[in-house]
Structure 1
Amino acid sequence: MSTLQASTFLSSSPCKRVIQATLHGHVPKPRSAAIPKLPARDLVEELMNMRAAGYTSTTTTTQLQPKLVRQARTVATTTKRGDVDADDHPNFTVIAELYEIMEATADRAEMHANIEKQRNNWNNLFLTSINSITIAAATMAALAATCGEVGTPLVALKLSSTLLYSAATGMLLVINKIQPSQLAEEQRNAARLFKQLNGQIRTILALGNPTAMDVKDAMEKVLALDKAYPLPLLGTMLDKFPATVEPSVWWPQQQKRRSHRRAEKNGWSGKLEEEMKQIVEVLKRKDIQEYVRLSKLALKVSRILAITGPLLTGLAAVGSALVGVGSPLHGSWAVFLGVVAGVMASVVNTLEHGGQVGMVFEMYRSSAGFFRLVEGYIKSTLKEGKAGRRENAELFEMRVALQLGRSISELRDLAASSSASSSREFASKLF
């Protein structure tokens, strides 16, 4: 065996120290490949113990959550690979399925966010392009009127103006049909709701004891969101001018209440039930009704502008084609129509798409849908006759208050004043 010796002498002090390093030139034996082990403690048992301990500190829960999530992901991945028999641990399959759905919701949220940016760009580009085309066509129609006699300049200007107006009419018909600003608002809502669903699944995995019912419920919510906010334009696009206006619905029609452990004292009382019923009445009488009314108004304005824009550009195209044809009186009316109608079309297009009237309609309809969802949440909870099977009353009341942008005391004051016929207060302070 060969040995290499090296000596280094340091003379920074009167005492000299000698550091000798000896390197033996042998090759170390390779270590055996480390095989990842499953957590020694059953994840489900740890989750249940954590839940039973009743953690109330945000700091403690935040510190423990990443560890539990990492363990759940390890168990779920190992189960999918087949390293562990899923029949011995039925909950492992549920965890794996929930992780699949959670990853799908994250992917859909990113997809909808990207498409929202694209369709918002569509709205800006179409608005700028159509206005530029319309103004150019109106300018050419006005220049054609200055050509006193028939000739090549007059024909060229008339033809160019007519073609530009025709192109603007066709583009307006398309853009008014799909309403890019409304499409962008739909995708914006979908991205937010998929992120919300992703967070709910994370909470179930971190703090709850997931069951097959949780998997089915999450799957139904994903499919309901896919149906409420479709990605393609052809075939599945939502009707931008519905005959009847209804609040948006993005949740399963048959909502399932999560089963809760029986508890004789769950905080529920007859007074709280009555307060919740009063809040439901306020939601129906004020918030939902008001936002449906605003949705109808926005839809009416959008429909009028969508018809007026192409109509004006079409009339302008006819007017520009008739410039210099017939008597001077007819010619002056043709110039007037070709220029003024084009300018008015530009104004209408700016009001419709620059003002994003379609987005406003979708925003109002979505807000009405949110209040409908809160109403259904309260009703489904009260529908459970046995108070011990309901969600904890304090948690339920706090959740309703947060959804409506109120404190708990303000929520109780709202329920107390709702019976008065002169009360004009809305349930929500968010919108």
Structure 2
Amino acid sequence: MTGTSSSSPPINSITLSASLMSAISSISTQSASTALNISSAILFSAATGMMVLVNKMQPSQLAEEQRKATQLYKQLEKSIHTTIAIGSSPTETDVDEAVEKLLAIDRAYPLPLLPLQDKFPKKVQPARWWPKHKPRKRVMTKKKNNGWSQEIEEEMRGVVRLLKAKDQNEYRHVGEIAVKINRMLAISGPVLTGLASVGASASSFSSVGGWPAMLAVVGGVMAMVVNTLEHGGQLGMVFELFRNCYGYYKEMEEEIEKNLGEREVDKREDGELFRMKIALKLGRSLSELKSLSSYASPSSRTDEDIQEFAGKLF
């Protein structure tokens, strides 16, 4: 991911060069000063345009989107290979499910530039790369209640409550903070270089004094700092990571609620295997998962009093 901030050094070089020109012009002869100020204004204008374009695209966020999409495509490919390798003949339903997953990933992470996704959403939503869960067909099983019990259902309800109250809420909150900071920096950079361009242009007029040159130098330096913080810190990628974590727990919540909402246990996933899968996804042991059943009852404690998170992976 180190290459995602490659747009920052060229813009910073242009901004720094323009600032130096403005500083030198204040101690140069009239003819040299005019040439330096014009050159500085042109460079500041170019930096402004480049900042607007780069801030709109958010290269680090685009890179993270495509990295996540590649990961999901590989997972889908492996699941298809597994279905074929276990010896069961793929049905038309299997094909339809694979196509729906493929289209869901494509909607969640379209190719960059066309179309551009909203990089500064007013409301942070989880990344959704999975299709709507559909009821499963009745399965033949020798296990009593298809491996489900009252204890497992209580555990799953406790997990769902923690996912909603803590994990999802936490990543939504930090995502909102990240996008606000990124939006502020994305606006500040072009504004500062624009002001610096105005200052460089006005420096050619001796009657206005030395404040335009000061505006050009200070504005250029501050714009360079802002641009470095935004793209050197890869705030777009950070926001996308939070959004993906939010989606990870949202998918898990919907998967659990889909199984609990199915009254016919034969149409659910195998209860014991499902319990183990959820434990692995949360980074917990089965004994730790069992302790979460105490959160199933809303009357036991309020959401504000809960300090524990469901997930331990990130």
TM over 0.5: yes
SS in 2 for 1:146: coil
Question: Could you report, residue by residue, the CA deviation over 1:297-332 in whole angstroms, capped at 9, with x for unpaired residues?
Answer: 1110111000000000000011111114143xx332
Matches within 5 A, 1:7-406: 121=3, 123-147=4-28, 149-151=29-31, 153-207=32-86, 208-234=88-114, 236-257=115-136, 259-263=138-142, 265=144, 266-327=146-207, 330-406=208-284
- Percent identity between the two aligned chains: 49
TM-score (norm 1): 0.68
- Shift in Å at residue 278 of structure 1? 1.3
- Shift in Å at residue 243 of structure 1? 2.6
Q: Summarize the Cα distance change of 1:301–1:168 in structure 2 as closer, same or farther, 3 Å threshold.
A: same
- Shift in Å at residue 264 of structure 1? 5.1
- Shift in Å at residue 232 of structure 1? 4.0
Q: Summarize the Cα distance change of 1:406–1:158 in structure 2 as closer, same or farther, 3 Å threshold.
A: same
Question: Could you report, residue by residue, the CA deviation over 1:386-428 in whole angstroms, capped at 9, with x for unpaired residues?
Answer: 2233222221111001111111111111233564443301100
- Structure 2 residue identity aligned to 1:249: R
Q: Summarize the Cα distance change of 1:342–1:275 in structure 2 as closer, same or farther, 3 Å threshold.
A: same
Residue 310 of structure 2 corresponds to residue 427 of structure 1: yes
- Structure 1 residue identity aligned to 2:198: V
- Structure 2 residue identity aligned to 1:169: T
- Structure 2 residue identity aligned to 1:183: L
* Unpaired stretches in structure 1, ≥5 consecutive residues: 1-116
* Unpaired stretches in structure 2, ≥5 consecutive residues: none
Q: Summarize the Cα distance change of 1:316–1:174 in structure 2 as closer, same or farther, 3 Å threshold.
A: same
Question: Could you report, residue by residue, the CA deviation over 1:60-117 in whole angstroms, capped at 9, with x for unpaired residues?
Answer: xxxxxxxxxxxxxxxxxxxxxxxxxxxxxxxxxxxxxxxxxxxxxxxxxxxxxxxxx7
SS in 1 for 2:6: helix
Whole-Å Cα distance in 2 between the matches of residues 426 and 140 of structure 1? 54
- Shift in Å at residue 282 of structure 1? 0.7
- Shift in Å at residue 262 of structure 1? 4.1
Question: Could you report, residue by residue, the CA deviation over 1:206-262 in whole angstroms, capped at 9, with x for unpaired residues?
Answer: 22442211110000000111111111413x221111232111111113445365324
Residue 299 of structure 2 corresponds to residue 416 of structure 1: no
Larger relative helix fraction: 2
Contact 1:228 1:250 in 2 (8 A): yes
SS in 2 for 1:426: coil
Whole-Å Cα distance in 2 between the matches of residues 193 and 313 of structure 1? 40
Q: Summarize the Cα distance change of 1:203–1:237 in structure 2 as closer, same or farther, 3 Å threshold.
A: same
Contact 2:136 2:267 in 1 (8 A): no
- Structure 2 residue identity aligned to 1:360: V
RMSD: 1.7
Q: Summarize the Cα distance change of 1:407–1:416 in structure 2 as closer, same or farther, 3 Å threshold.
A: same
Q: Summarize the Cα distance change of 1:240–1:255 in structure 2 as closer, same or farther, 3 Å threshold.
A: farther
Q: Summarize the Cα distance change of 1:393–1:349 in structure 2 as closer, same or farther, 3 Å threshold.
A: same
SS in 1 for 2:118: coil
Contact 1:161 1:317 in 2 (8 A): yes
Contact 2:161 2:295 in 1 (8 A): no
SS in 2 for 1:428: coil
Q: Which moved more, 1:254-263 or 1:292-301?
A: 254-263
Whole-Å Cα distance in 2 between the matches of residues 402 and 264 of structure 1? 22
Larger radius of gyration: 1
Question: Could you report, residue by residue, the CA deviation over 1:254-285 in whole angstroms, capped at 9, with x for unpaired residues?
Answer: 44536532445122111211211111011011
Equivalent residue pairs, number? 307
- Structure 2 residue identity aligned to 1:135: L
Whole-Å Cα distance in 1 between the matches of residues 63 and 17 of structure 2? 29
Whole-Å Cα distance in 2 between the matches of residues 341 and 301 of structure 1? 19
- Shift in Å at residue 142 of structure 1? 0.2
- Structure 2 residue identity aligned to 1:428: G
